[in-house]
Amino acid sequence: MTARTSLRSVAESRGFDVGAAVDADLLRNDAGYWKLLRREFTTVTPENALKMGPLRPSPDTYDFGDADAVVNFGLEYDMTVRGHTLVWHNQTPEWFEEWAYTDDGIEGFLRDHIHTVAGRYRDKIDVWDVVNEAIADDGSMRETVWYDAMGEAYLDEAFGWADDVTDADLYYNDYGADGINEKSDAVYDLITGMLDRDVPIDGVGLQLHALHDEPDPGSVAENVYRFEDLGLDVQITEMDVAYPEGEVPEDHREQQAQYYRSIVEACLDTGCETLVTWGVRDGDSWVPGWFSGLTDDPLLFDGSTPKPAYHAIMDVLAEGSD
Ligand code: XIL
């Protein structure tokens, strides 16, 4: 019988990882936050601290303070660490003016960045989101500074540079590609091409921000299977669940709980062994600051109080392991 003292204890006895995106300031300043985190989760990922902007105050300097705080916290409490993210079009440094570089200059800059950052955490970070969100919503390649300078090869190069310096599992991560749809088809094609070219990719991260709709869990499972059939691992990397005004079910916390439950079930069915929520407590979520007209309680905790979604995940993980 599994002791149901925490989500973490139940997850650990099931061999499942439950993670959360972590804010470095809260970790330093809010004891309630870090106690909840270390008690309830098995995995941490810095919410922002490993992105290029926060890491690079100027072209020649790095500020690893926040990233180290989150990574070291995870290691201290025997948690695994997901690194997010080496290459993205958002949260690039403010001083980074792409037109001031040649294409070769951008390539060299990105190579040095990946070597330095992934190399620093070589023995500390278990999984890296090497490239985040390379596919646009219509399934085409997203026009980013990296794509403009290097073409689609920027992905191959980025994974290769990460592989030079770390043994971490190397992931491609994206949103809106959770179930089978046009975008996940494009991700599938992109990754099939990379595998054909022997690019060292180990996994696919499905963000699963269920903010305007809830991707069908059966379709998510089917999608996980097709990536696994390529020999890749799949993780749910940024889950949160909110409802648009006017479409909020009366019992929305129960519905939210059911949805979290159904995604964990899909994970257990398919062998996707990690689910990360994009934050810990509702009050710390990015959702209200970024979207208007959505319910503002997308996560598993209301303050430090576990919500129905928390209990639903706990129940499904405990089933079968008792
Ligand atoms: C978000 C953070 O939560 C916010 O604090 C930040 O202001 C913007 O980025 N997809 C991703 C994450 O891959 O990095 C984003 O995180 C949310 C969407």
Each domain of the chain, given as residue ranges in start order, spans 7-319
Q: Which residues line ligand 1 (CB under 6 A)?
A: 47-48, 132, 175, 207, 238, 286
pLDDT of residue 4: 85
Residue closest by Cα to atom 12 of ligand 1: 47
pLDDT of residue 247: 94
238 is catalytic: yes
**Half-sphere exposure of residue 108: CA atoms within 13 angstroms, side-chain side:** 7
Answer yes or no: CATH 3.40.50.1370 is held by domain 7-319.
Answer: no
pLDDT of residue 321: 63
Question: Checking DSSP bridges between strand 301-302 and strand 233-241, what pairing results, if any?
Answer: unpaired
pLDDT of residue 175: 98
Residue 15 identity: G
pLDDT of residue 14: 96
- Pocket perturbation via mutation, ligand 1, pick of 238, 240, 294 by most ligand atoms within 8 A of CB: 238
Q: How far apart (Å, rounded) are the C-alpha atoms in residues 191 and 176?
A: 16
> What is the helix (H) or strand (E) element at residue 311, kind and residue range?
helix 308-318
pLDDT of residue 100: 82
Q: Helices (DSSP H) in 86-237: which residue ranges?
A: 103-120, 145-150, 153-165, 182-196, 217-228
Question: 209 with 241: CB under 8 angstroms?
Answer: no
Q: Is the dihedral of CA 186, 187, 192, 197 positive or negative?
A: positive
pLDDT of residue 236: 99
pLDDT of residue 97: 80
Q: Helices (DSSP H) in 94-173: which residue ranges?
A: 103-120, 145-150, 153-165
Q: How far apart (Å, rounded) are the C-alpha atoms in residues 68 and 46?
A: 9
Q: What does each of the 322 residues of the chain score in pLDDT, given as a tens digit?
A: 556 899 999 999 999 999 999 999 999 999 999 999 999 999 999 999 999 999 999 988 999 999 999 999 999 999 999 999 999 999 999 998 877 889 899 999 999 999 999 999 999 999 999 999 999 999 999 999 999 999 999 999 999 999 999 999 999 999 999 999 999 999 999 999 999 999 999 999 999 999 999 999 999 999 999 999 999 999 999 999 999 999 999 999 999 999 999 999 999 999 999 999 999 999 999 999 999 999 999 999 999 999 999 999 999 999 966 5
As given in the structure block, the two tokens for residue 76 are 């201290």
Looking at residue 246, the DSSP 8-state letter turns out to be T
pLDDT of residue 2: 59
Furthest-apart CA pair in the chain: how many Å? 62
Integer Rg of the chain from CA: 19
Give the residue from 229, 231, 137 showing the smallest Cα distance to 184: 137
Catalytic position from the list 214, 238, 250, 273: 238
- Nearest-atom number in ligand 1 for the CA of 278 is 3
Question: Checking DSSP bridges between strand 305-306 and strand 274-277, what pairing results, if any?
Answer: unpaired
Question: 101 with 109: CB under 8 angstroms?
Answer: yes
